[in-house]
Amino acid sequence: MKKWIGIWVLLVCILSCDDDNEKVDSIELSASMLNYESEGGEQGILIQSSTDWAVTSDAAWCFVQDHKETGQFSVIVSENDDFNPRMTVLKLIAGNCVKEVDILQKGQTGDLSLSEYKASVYDLNDNYAVIVHAKKPWTTKVSGNWLSVEPSGGEAGTHLVRLRFSENKILADRMGTISFESAGSENCLFEFTQEAALPDSRKQDSLALLKLYDAIGGDQMKAAGYLKNWKVGPLENWDSDMMRDGRVVKVALRGNIGKDGYIPEDVKYLSHLEEFTASATFIGGELPEGFARCKLLKILRISNGFESSNGNLTGELPRKWCVLRNLYEVDFEKNKLIGSLPLEYGNLSGLHFFVVSNNEMSGTLPTVWSNIPQISRLELASNNFTGEVPEEWAVWTNITILDLAKNSGLSGVLPVELLTTAQNNGGAVSLNGTNIITK
């Protein structure tokens, strides 16, 4: 009898060990889907897990706060100012168990909405852009004789509207308003402010460069063998390639800029600047709106040349840059930028190259970018973009490189014209790691 009891105990032990080896973690949720109105909001989900858990969101408009002490987490969604609904997926991980929660948000439901309702620009004359989403024909009324609108009205659909303004030569801000009106709907009022006149001189160039020198840790860079002549005598002695006709037209940074280095807003005083590059650096922080005052700017390149890691640029692309009609090349490859592609960049009529590969950006591909007629190279690989490639992009006759690879949220059918145009121009379209198909 004792022999049989011993065998039974041995079998139980063996079975217990097998159960431990095959243990599967579990997650139980109070909801697997959350729905939000266009204005956004906050909702909570209760969670029961067999082990420690974590939840992540890849969308800049969807934020997650965990409250592990109470066994729940909150999902906070910002306002959706587009007519189109949007979706993202939260991932919950507990040990070897993974579950997903679908987050759905409605688009605007009114007859008329704008991409934004308030903006400010610098003192120099130029034009800004705002996106109009309309379900019915619309018109505009402008207050401010220094401000005009093009077009002044339109049919139902999504439209890029240019707000043209003259130079502000007075030492005070001025404000204009634009009333967007659609039959049978409430009016949308857009408030537009132009800042007071700013100094524009060679002295301001040197002061702006001194601010930049301090912001990037200039003394440490000098010690490392860079910026050797900066702060030595007149500007011409600092860098011979920097000046033309007594003004700063080019700033080229290269070297071991520390992780605390950033670009100050004072670049707005470099009103003759045509090129700003920072390559093979770890320059960080948010991109300054101040570049929007550099109306002659053609090249803006801040990319990381190191294979082992990304750079440190953070935050979103400033909408204010939509005034830079001379901008030819933008390159922010290998950084940590978030947010979506600004709709207002459809105003960048001079743009040829746009590269933001290897960042953390998200959102859909803007239909209104079809207004960029000259674009030939668009690289968006290794981000979190979603949705379909707009059919409207088929109008791009100069497209040579279109790189959408490693954006698993992209789907649908690629407009055949984009593929054939790129190939005819001697280039290619890259779709690896997406769910886009070709016909």
3-state secondary structure of 270: coil
More confident site: 134 or 173: 173
Query: In the chain, how many H helices and how many E strands?
Result: 5, 33
Distances (CA, A) of 224 to 217, 254, 258, 289, 312: 11, 11, 11, 30, 20
Name the average pLDDT for the chain: 88
Residue 176 pLDDT greater than 90, yes or no:
yes
Retrieve residue 118's tokens: 């308030």
Question: How confident is the model at residue 290, as a pLDDT?
Answer: 97
Query: 402 with 378: CB under 8 angstroms?
Result: yes
Residue with tokens 């060990």: 17
Ordered by where they begin, the domains of the chain are 25-105 (2.60.40.10), 112-194 (2.60.40.10), 202-437 (3.80.10.10)
Spatial distance between the Cα atoms of 372 and 352, rounded to a whole number of angstroms: 8
**273-290: average pLDDT:** 90
Q: What pairing do the DSSP bridges indicate for beta strands 157-165 and 147-150?
A: antiparallel
pLDDT of 167 strictly over 60: yes
| Consecutive H or E run containing 209 | helix 202-215
Per-residue pLDDT tens over the stretch 44-85: 898 988 889 999 888 888 989 988 888 899 999 998 877 677
Of 128, 74, 155, 158, residue with least CA distance to 364 = 158
Compute the average pLDDT of residues 158-185.
93
Stretch 129-151: mean pLDDT: 93
pLDDT of residue 310: 56
Q: DSSP assignment, residue 197?
A: P
pLDDT of residue 3: 46
> Would the pLDDT of 2 be above 50?
no
Long-range contacts (CB closer than 8 Å, 24 or more residues apart) made by 50-55:
50/25, 50/26, 50/94, 50/95, 50/97, 51/25, 51/94, 51/95, 52/94, 52/95, 53/27, 53/92, 53/93, 53/94, 54/92, 54/93, 54/94, 55/90, 55/91, 55/92, 55/93
Report pLDDT digits (tens) over 373-430.
999 999 999 999 999 999 999 999 999 999 999 999 999 999 999 999 999 999 999 9
pLDDT at 309: 55
What is the structure's pLDDT at 23?
Answer: 66
What confidence tens digit (pLDDT) does each residue in 335-355 have? 999 999 999 999 999 999 999
301-323 pLDDT, tens digit per residue, is 998 755 545 568 899 999 999 99
Residue range 21-43: average pLDDT? 83
